Amino acid sequence: MTDETLDHAYSPSRFTCDVEATLARQAVAGRELAARQPPLELVDGDDSAARLDLFVPESMPRSEGPRPLMAFIHGGYWQELDHTATDFLAEGLLARGMAFASLGYGLAPATSIEAMVGQCARGLEMAIAALDEHGGAGPVILGGHSAGAQLACRVAAAGGVRIDGLLLVSGVYDLTPLVDTYVNAPLGLDRARARSLSPRFGDLSTLPPARVVIAEHDPPALRHQGCDFVAALCAADREAALVDLPGCDHFDILEHL
């Protein structure tokens, strides 16, 4: 059995009005953008979910040189959605001359969180390599929403991929409370493994500067997690900023970054 109090505390849909409408609106915006400006579609290995869309500014000839890259990892509690859920974020960045990559990964229960981290890291490498063929990759920002923020932190902590900054939105940084919730059913985490996967308890000393964003109407548990993670980063002498966006919930916050 799960803990009903924790189930409520870690259920973002209970703190917002219409999750389905928000997700549908974002999906339509992403599809419309991809139709107008088709991305490069890259796949990592045999897992069809471990793929990415790379949007490159149309006015980006090789002669223009490197462009900043925002790579973003979707949420869904490691068990829902896919990379196209964040394609809509590319539009504003493309207008500013930035490239955008929406990173995908296999979902639980078929894929472990550890494997998801590896897929996201390889996806980021693929995005940088592909961008290098279109004038080069400038500063690289890795972002993530909800569970995607946890994955982004783990990718950055593992090293091996150049990351100049983190954008962490409504993230989960301590997985141990999830062990006793509905979220854990497909994940199968015990407390030891949940702690080992938690950015909050990992080595923070090598993480790049981080912008940690929370929504006014995020579940209070996730708001606390964001605040605690910024405090932990600062205690580890890392550069970190907390941004609290008013009027937003866990899902539409992505439209207000």
Q: Which domains does the chain have, with CATH numbers?
A: 4-59+66-256 (3.40.50.1820)
For 149-185, the pLDDT digits (tens) are 999 999 999 998 999 999 999 999 999 999 999 999 9
pLDDT for position 58: 80
Helices 147-158 and 113-132 pack at an angle, to 10 degrees, of 70
Q: How confident is the model at residue 60 (pLDDT cuts 50, 70, 90)?
A: low
**Contact criterion met (CB below 8 Å) for 166 and 124:** no
Greater pLDDT, 201 or 58: 201
**Contact criterion met (CB below 8 Å) for 52 and 105:** no
Average pLDDT over residues 38-55: 92
Q: How would you list the strands of the sheet with 51-55, edge to edge?
A: 40-43, 51-55, 99-103, 67-73, 137-145, 165-169, 210-217, 240-249
**Residue 42 and residue 5: Cα distance in Å, rounded?**
41
Residue 133 has pLDDT above 90, yes or no: no
